[in-house]
Amino acid sequence: MASVDVVEVRKAYGSHAVIHGVSLEIEDGEFVILVGPSGCGKSTLLRMVAGLEPITSGDIRIDGRVVNDLPPKDRDIAMVFQTYALYPHKTVAQNMGFALKMRGTPKPEIDARVKAAAEILNLGAYLTRYPRQLSGGQRQRVAMGRAIVRDPKVFLFDEPLSNLDAKLRVQMRAEIKELQQRLDTTTVYVTHDQVEAMTMADRIVVLHDGHVEQIGAPLELYDRPANTFVAGFIGSPAMNLLKGTIKGDSVVTEDGIKLPINGAPPGSDGRPVRFGIRPEHLTLGGTIPAVITVVEPTGSETQVFAKLGEQRIVGVFRDRISGRAGEALPVGIDPRLVHLFDQETGLRLN
Amino acid sequence: MAMTATSAETAHHTSRSHRTGLALGKVLIYAALIFWAFICLFPIFWTVTTTFKTANNVTQGHILPFIDFWPDWKGLRSLGLSPDTLFEVSTVRDEFLKRFLNSVYASVGASLLAIVIGSIAAYGLCRFDYRFGWMKNRDISFFFLSQLILPPVVLAMPFLVLYKNLVLLDTLTGLILIYTLMVLPIVIWIMRDQFETIPVELEQAALVDGCSVWGAFFRIVLPIALPGMVAAFILSVILCWNEYFFAALLTSSNAKTLPVMVASQTGSQGISWWSMAAISTAAILPLVLIGIFLERYIVKGLTAGAVK
């Protein structure tokens, strides 16, 4: 069993608190992704799990054992850094075998394990090369190889794909996911890219300003975001969040446009809300009077930036749309796909 | 048509005057460079040639060997280094070698000590946050660097008294200690630059891989920072080798170094220019060789991190 438990962990630099009481339970073999905008504390949290950053208060347990005061080398973890952090004066083989060498593993075993890891990652031909002779993707693989050779209890990834180009990122995403499933090692992965989070995670932890906004499976976060932050963060393009007031069984915007909802929560008549609808859930040919601002065809779909009264709205449609700025584009909304959030607190209402 | 012809002529004239201007500029630049090279190299030329002069050659100001004067072994003979005296017993030569070795021990010893202490200090200043009273890392670094601004003569009296009480006068140990202090600021300066170019993730990776903080320093950081260390070492050796003031002040017969020996080449007949020149040549030679063969490493070490 290699579970990771984060219990009410807080982190402050002097009087400036950056992590406010985060709690999280990660099961053995689970792939959990910490996601959030820059500065939300996800990397700091990961580094506290690794032991590279001291904890101000709270506990971190690996496999049930409190590791707060243990140095990184005694936590049986392996980490892949954003900048790969390969030792430039060592060959690929030496990089991958370094941790085993530190542990006093006999040389034949080191060689065998390095070779096995190299085969999994297609690095067999590069074992005698130095990091400076490798491409970005190859260096990324060596960094991963260095981690898997250790056979640790937990893998920690700190934005490992951020330095790669878009195409390579897509390819490596699949490789990392496949590797994790194959090795079945508990993994904590940090990224700011919500697409990476959605495609790779068993569960996602959305962080914002040192607080946990929501924890759940990817589709859970997509279908039922707990607040406006998660709603706007997960999904691309971001969810439309229109301001309005509940009146009867619809939400009315300031311009008087009526938006359908699937039954108002009891006692909420007159309440100012945020009306949430994902761009991909808008349909063509409805009664809601949007006016086109910009049409962006991407080939497989068309993104339309429009205005609903004075508020901006984005729609994504499979159909090809040829519209000019200023033209009317009536759209439809299925009330069952609507998300309602309180305008002040941002919390979900329906 | 006429317009085109005139403009073509003007273009031709401008380009010719432009080229003349460029050529003149180049000539002036080269003239200045040759002049400056002459100023820099002439003293060395003079020193080497004076080694082979006799008294009247020196006083009559003869400069060019084989043209103004005939080279003589007098200078080297007075040191016991001429071909006829090389294989005979010579107290002068023994003394010269003793001073030479003193210089070597003091320079190399002090530089090694400074590299060890300075590297650790620089690493600490780079990676950890210190606080001594009101001083933080930046203030501590400046404190170290400010030792370079201090004129050595200010320390003359204090060190004389201190060394007398510690019985360190005229000892190599005493000399090594003060030379270490002298070059420590430069070593810390260079090494701090070196360490700052090394990403901290490398050490973090080492910590995760099983190293302690010291392990990460010795196994990962130091090998990468080696060019800087070599550069700092060479620079320290050069500075210590040339040092005259403290060597003259704090040593007499035992620990005297080459610069002091050069300066003491005066006799009842006046300054023995030829032996002074001979010793100077011997003193300069190691540094010239270091400069020629290791210049690459000095530049590499000093400019590490200058270009991202």
B203, B209, B214, B219, best to mutate vs chain A, most A CBs in 10 Å: B209
Tell whether A103 is within 8 A of chain B (Cβ): yes
Torsion of CA A95, A98, A100, A105, to 10 degrees: 120
User: Using an 8 Å Cβ cutoff, are A109 and A133 in contact?
Assistant: no
Q: What tokens does A348 get?
A: 């979900």
Instruction: Tell me the whole-structure pTM to 2 decimals.
Output: 0.80
What sign has the CA pseudo-torsion B73, B76, B79, B80?
negative
Chain B, 181 to 200: residues with Cβ < 8 Å from chain A are: 199
A87 and A222 together in one domain: yes
Q: For position A329, which CATH number holds?
A: 2.40.50.140
**Residue B182: how many CB atoms within 10 A of its CB?**
21
- Using a CB-CB distance cutoff of 8 angstroms, which residues of chain B are in contact with residue A89? 223-224
Buried b (16+ CB within 10 A) or exposed e, A313-341: bbbbbeeebebeeeeebebebeeeebbbb
How many domains, in total, are found in chain A?
2
> What pLDDT shows up at residue A231?
94
Instruction: Tell me which chain A residue has its CA closest to the CA of residue B200.
Output: A85
B199 to A85: CB separation less than 8 angstroms, yes or no: yes
Q: What is the mean pLDDT of chain B?
A: 85
Is residue A272 domain-resident?
yes
Is residue A22 domain-resident?
yes
**Domain end: A171, A204, A232, which one?**
A232
A223 and A247 together in one domain: no
Q: How confident is the model at residue B308 (pLDDT cuts 50, 70, 90)?
A: very low
Chain B, 63 to 92: residues with Cβ < 8 Å from chain A are: none
Is residue A347 domain-resident?
no
A102 to B215: CB separation less than 8 angstroms, yes or no: yes
A134 and A273 together in one domain: no
Instruction: Tell me which chain B residue has its CA closest to the CA of residue A80.
Output: B205
Is residue A350 domain-resident?
no
Write down the domain spans for chain B.
Answer: 1-40, 91-302
Which of A51, A83, A102 is opposite residue B209, by nearest beta carbon? A102
B204 to A85: CB separation less than 8 angstroms, yes or no: yes
A169 and A207 together in one domain: yes
A56 and A195 together in one domain: yes
Is residue A86 domain-resident?
yes
| Prediction ipTM score | 0.84
**pLDDT tens digits, residue range B221-261?**
999 998 889 889 988 999 999 899 999 999 888 888 988 88
A62, A79, A94, best to mutate vs chain B, most B CBs in 10 Å: A79
- Using a CB-CB distance cutoff of 8 angstroms, which residues of chain A are in contact with residue B206? 87, 98
Lowest-pLDDT range, A13-17, A251-255, B293-297? B293-297
Is residue A50 domain-resident?
yes
Q: Please, where are the H alpha helices in B51-199?
A: 55-59, 74-79, 91-127, 137-146, 156-166, 172-196
Is residue A333 domain-resident?
yes
> What pLDDT shows up at residue B164?
92
What is residue B152's DSSP assignment?
G
**pLDDT tens digits, residue range A188-205?**
999 998 899 999 999 999
A250 and A225 together in one domain: no
Residue B63 has pLDDT above 90, yes or no: no
**Domain end: A232, A266, A282, which one?**
A232
Tell whether A77 is within 8 A of chain B (Cβ): yes
A86 and A217 together in one domain: yes
Rounded Cα distance, B168 and B160, in Å:
9
**Domain end: A209, A232, A255, which one?**
A232
User: Using an 8 Å Cβ cutoff, are A130 and A86 in contact?
Assistant: no
**Residue A70: how many CB atoms within 10 A of its CB?**
15
Rounded Cα distance, B76 and B78, in Å:
5
Burial of B216 (C-beta count, 10 Å sphere; 0-12/13-18/19+): buried
> What pLDDT shows up at residue A233?
92
A79 to B202: CB separation less than 8 angstroms, yes or no: no
A107 and A154 together in one domain: yes
How far apart are the CA of B132 and the nearest CA of chain A, in angstroms?
A: 18
Which of A71, A77, A85 is opposite residue B201, by nearest beta carbon? A85
Is residue A263 domain-resident?
yes
Please tell me whether residue B90 adopts helix, strand or coil conformation. coil
| Domain with residues B91-302, CATH architecture | Orthogonal Bundle (1.10)
**pLDDT tens digits, residue range A275-307?**
999 999 999 988 999 999 999 998 899 999 999
Q: For position A66, which CATH number holds?
A: 3.40.50.300
- Using a CB-CB distance cutoff of 8 angstroms, which residues of chain B are in contact with residue A73? 207-212
Identify residue B296 by its one-letter amino acid code. R
Domain span holding position A8: 4-232
